[in-house]
Amino acid sequence: MMRFLLLFSRQGKLRLQKWFTPVSDREKKKVIRDMVLLVLARQPRSCNFLHWRDLKIVYKRYASLYFCSGLENNDNELLALEVLHRYVELLDKYFGNVCELDLIFNFEKAYYILDEFLMGGEVLETSKVAVSASMEEADTLQETMEEYMSKPTY
Amino acid sequence: MPAVSKGDGMRGLAVFISDIRNCKSKEAEIKRINKELANIRSKFKGDKALDGYSKKKYVCKLLFIFLLGHDIDFGHMEAVNLLSSNKPAGGYLFISVLVNSNSELIRLINNAIKNDLSSRNPTFMCLALHCIANVGSREMAEAFASEIPRILVAGDTMDSVKQSAALCLLRLYKTSPDLVLMGEWTSRVVHLLNDQHMGVVTAAISLITCLSQKNPDEFKTCVSLAVSRLSRIVSSASTDLQDYTYYFVPAPWLSCKLLRLLQCYPPPEDGAVKGRLVECLETILNKAQEPPKSKKVQHSNAKNAILFEAISLIIHYDSEPNLLVRACNQLGQFLQHRETNLRYLALESMCTLASSEFSHEAVKTHIETVINALKTERDVSVRQRAADLLYAMCDRSNAKQIVAEMLSYLETADYSIREEMVLKVAILAEKYAVDYSWYVDTILNLIRIAGDYVSEEVWYRVIQIVINRDDVQGYAAKTVFEALQAPACHENMVKVGGYILGEFGNLIAGDPRSSPLVQFNLLHSKFHLCSVPTRALLLSAYIKFINLFPETKATIQEVLRCDSQIRNSDVELQQRAVEYLKLSSIASTDVLATVLEEMPPFPERESSILAKLKKKKGPGTVSVTDLEDSKREGGELNGGGERGPDTAAMASSNASTPSPSADLLGIRSAAPVGAAPASAGSLLVDVFSEAGPAAPSAAVNDDGFLRDLEQPTETCDSLLVEGSGDSE
């Protein structure tokens, strides 16, 4: 099972953090710091896997964002790489040509999409069609037409 | 598409986020955030009831502020209120991220969840289940642990809800296993494996795998179902599974999960099931040889993920020689693959393969490739896996070669892995030493190359062995003497040298180049460079010299008498100097000889080095050395069965019972002297007093990457464009 998933930029700014086990705030900060240091220090052509404490770390860079996940020792690393890729595909499908700015301004949507895809650290649904369908449904549930028309700006 | 968001724009939120990004310094950011917090606080407290949209907007703003790293101490109540609105998602998100143990709120949250669970709306039910899974606290487990299995197996539950329920239950089971009781639902859960909806199967398998690990008997019917599902997937054409096909690979996640589930059980007894499974595995191995259907890396990753999982299963069963050899060959091919990832994984898998008796020989054939990887790989994690594999495949036939390679690797190895490497080399050298002078050489080389990382256990051990073996004592004395003559000599070398010369210096005293005075001067020349514990050891060596070589008595007494010893600020040194001085002056030669008699042989105990390595690596490490030990000591392990944690536990428990036959070195088969263990141990401690040098911490750049805020540098580069990410 996945223990955590972090997204951060090349400058080490955290864009998304998802924890699949209860972790104290202090421990979270420590893990984030360690991950950022470890991953950003990697050479460009090295492999995507690392060992850290008793976990396997799988990371991949997409444009300016690093996707970094921590797995337990008996998990399949290649599959985790594909989990990250699938997540990016889902984001891409939802936002259309997703980029880092999308994730900054719509962070809550990024979390929702992640929730449709992973739960408790395990893969919930791998069909792109199914996930996009439920996101659409959730969106329509979230607001009515008149609200959309009469939004204040601040 | 930047900035303009889909669905509900929440422009206020977007404006706020832009403001934050445009702040030029940390102070400006904090100021802006505080302003916003004050605004939100007043809105929440205000008289006007906020409409749902605004509430959601403010809750999201609070969430954003929290995720930036600032603490939030209000807003929970509003978030909970959102739960009962018709837009609960924002509230649930807030709660999952900012969980606190306020009991009032928890009651309200649980109520909201209960309502959502019993509503018939699948979206609300899923949101509620997600919240439970995200928070997973004990209170929630208590409230819902009985409800969720019911939802899971009820006939009228929608598929998407079933999926969420399965994983939610899994989460609760992991955190509070005692609250999830086995019941009627367990047999129905197994049948979810046959469900038509692949998503349901995917989710259910994770649950079943975890449950099977704790209650294997209850769930063993899942094995045959899993096998038939797996063979259906593996033999399906790529168009059959439609959206569950990932880059031309049919249902990779599902396949891997099925293979993982099968690893919880021994090979199926039923002949037909077993035959089908073997056929499946062969198909998977065959597919690896076929040309790829797509050039994309995703295709090969998914295909290889299944392959590696299948190989893990084959290794776990450890009963089909044909499959094992094929797996080994496949891994051998990967060892030289272009892609670094595959080389890494191949090295890792081979480590486990090396401990199986069927394939151990096959693994050894790849030794040259692995050694080459150790020398030439640019990625340090791959080199480390290569070193691990060498350790795993080491046996009597290739020990010398492997130890030599590991020693030369150690000279340039990363600091963070040196200690582990040192332990491994020490273990291998001891285990496969036919000729103990080679062993002594190896350990002294270790100290020379990586002295800082040679822990106490390692050099205690070499001394124990030299003391126990008469034939190597002279060689050890000579080698140590030569090693000490190097101009820059590690402190651990001085410790070992001091002890050995103190005990066996007489064996080389005949040669004028290593006469007693020369030996003493050599040791004393290092005296001032050493730490207190080493000096204490050297003082003991000096008194032993007085006993062995009476002609040095005057010189040594001079040294002991000088102020820097008898008035030394360290109590231990002062005490030793004073007592040894007195002892040498008043004791007759007979008394002195008795007091300073040669050390008796050490009794056999479990190798503390092995224990230290196990502690370092964690409980799951199994290697040839461990298995050989446990086989020798404890009789046959369970045939063809559970491997991994069980085996390691057995190996370590077998090794730790200090039976007389636990004779790692084959030196003494006589029963150990009764009270000797305690006294020998304490004598050892007494002589060596405090611990050796602490390993310097790995050089970590503490300046960190999180600099002060600069202008935003995120690009609008699309994440999925070719070439914008990692090139492999």
**d(C-alpha B467, C-alpha B684), whole Å:** 12
- Of the partner residues B12, B305, B726, the one whose CB lies closest to the CB of residue A60: B726
CA distance A145 to B586: 105
Mean pLDDT in order along chain B per 10 residues (728 residues): 47 83 85 87 77 80 82 77 73 74 72 82 83 81 84 83 88 84 82 85 89 84 88 77 80 90 88 89 88 86 91 88 88 89 91 82 87 87 89 88 90 83 89 88 89 87 89 90 88 91 88 87 89 91 89 88 85 91 87 86 78 68 44 36 36 38 38 35 35 34 37 65 52
* Residue A21 CB partners (closer than 8 Å, separation 6+): A3, A4, A121
pLDDT at B653: 37
CA neighbor of B610 nearest in space, from B633, B577, B638: B633
Nearest-neighbour CA in chain B from A69: distance (Å)? 16
| Cα of A117 to nearest chain B Cα, Å | 10
The 3-class SS string of B73-85 reads: CCCHHHHHHHHCC
Please report, to the nearest 10 degrees, the dihedral formed by the alpha carbons of residues B561, B565, B568, B574 taken in order.
-90
Q: C-alpha B25: how far from its chain's center? A: 40
CA B506 – CA B486 distance, rounded (Å) = 21
Rounded Cα–Cα distance for residues B497 and B502 (Å):
8
B46 is written with which tokens?
């205000």
- The confidence score (pLDDT) of residue A57 equals 94
Dist CA B636 CA B367 (whole Å): 28
Residue appearing with tokens 């487990």: B141
Provide the ipTM.
Answer: 0.86
Query: Which residue does chain B place closest to A9, by CA atoms?
Result: B714
Tokens 């499959």 locate to B323
Q: Which residue has the tokens 């039923």?
A: B270
Phi and psi of B672, rounded to 5°? -65, 150
Residue A4 binned pLDDT confidence (cut-offs 50, 70, 90): very high
The residue type found at B183 is G
Q: Compute the distance between CA of residue A78 and CA of residue A63 in angstroms, rounded to an integer.
A: 20
Is the CB of residue A130 less than 8 Å away from at least one CB of chain B? yes
Q: Are strands A122-123 and A118-119 parallel, antiparallel or unpaired?
A: antiparallel
The pLDDT value given to residue B600? 86
- In angstroms, the CA B222 to CA B187 distance is 9
pLDDT attached to residue B693: 35
- The structure tokens listed for B36 are 């916003």
Contact B301 A94 (CB under 8 A): no
Distances (CA, A) of B619 to A5, B396, B613, B616, B703: 25, 25, 10, 9, 35
A46, A61, A92: residue with CB nearest B379: A46
**Structure-token pair, residue A25:** 């705030």
What is the spatial distance between Cα B558 and Cα B578, in angstroms, rounded to a whole number? 12
Instruction: Give the ranges where B356-435 is alpha helix by DSSP (H).
Output: 360-364, 367-376, 380-393, 399-411, 415-431
Is the distance from CB of B664 to CB of B608 less than 8 angstroms?
A: no
First to last CA, chain B: 26
Phi, psi angles (nearest 5°) of residue B593: -65, -35
DSSP-derived 3-state class of residue B272: helix
Give the sheet arrangement for strand A55-62, strand by strand: A14-19, A2-9, A65-71, A55-62, A49-52
A134: closest chain B residue by CA: B123
Is residue B581 within 8 Å of B540, Cβ to Cβ? Answer: no
Helix B456-468 × helix B473-484 angle, to 10°? 140
A115 touches B at CB < 8 Å: yes
Name the residue of chain A whose CA is nearest to B9's CA.
A148
Label residue B689 exposed, middle or buried (CB < 10 Å: 0-12, 13-18, 19+).
middle
Q: Is the pLDDT of residue A11 over 60?
A: yes
> How far, in Å, are A145, B41, B91 from residue A112 at the CA level?
21, 26, 12
Quick one: pLDDT at residue A87? Answer: 92
SS3 B700: coil
Distance of CA B504 to the CA centre of its chain: 41
Q: Of A50, A10, A4, A11, whose CA–CA distance to A30 is shortest?
A: A4
Query: B645-698, pLDDT tens digit by residue?
Result: 333 333 333 333 333 333 343 343 333 333 333 333 333 333 333 333 333 333
* Residue where the block lists tokens 């190896």: B442
Q: Output the CA angle A67-A72-A78, nearest 5 degrees.
A: 55
Whether pTM exceeds 0.80: no
Q: Do A119 and B724 touch (CB under 8 A)?
A: no
- What would you report as the CA-atom Rg of chain A, rounded to the nearest whole angstrom? 17
Cα B687–chain centre separation: 34
Say how far apart CA B223 and CA B205 lie, in whole Å.
Answer: 11
The tokens describing B721, both together, are 């464009």
Grouping H, G, I as helix, E, B as strand and the rest as coil, residue A123 is strand
A 65-94 residues inside an 8 A Cβ radius of B: 65, 73-74, 76-79, 81-82, 85-86, 88-89, 91-92, 94
Only one residue has tokens 């019911």, namely B150
Among A37, A101, A130, the residue with its CB nearest the CB of B2 is A101
SS3 state at B303: helix
pLDDT of residue B721: 67
CB spacing of B725 vs A63 below 8 angstroms: yes
Query: Within an 8 Å CB–CB cutoff, is residue A24 touching chain B?
Result: no
A23 contacts chain B (CB < 8 A): no
Q: How far apart are CA A32 and CA B105, in angstroms?
A: 29
Q: Are strands B249-250 and A2-9 parallel, antiparallel or unpaired?
A: unpaired
pLDDT of residue B7: 47
Stretch (H or E) spanning B229: helix B222-234
Q: Which residue of B has its CA nearest to A16?
A: B67
CA distance to partner chain B, nearest, from residue A56 (Å):
11
pLDDT digits over A76-130, tens only?
999 999 999 999 999 998 888 888 888 888 888 898 889 888 888 888 888 888 8
Q: Which residue of A has its CA nearest to B70?
A: A25
Q: CB burial class (10 A; 0-12, 13-18, 19+) of residue B376?
A: exposed
Give every CB contact of residue A13 below 8 A, 6+ residues apart in sequence.
Answer: B706
pLDDT band at A31 (very low <50, low <70, confident <90, very high): very high
Q: Which residues contact B272 (CB under 8 A, 6 or more apart)?
A: none
Running DSSP on this structure, what letter comes out for residue B318?
Answer: -
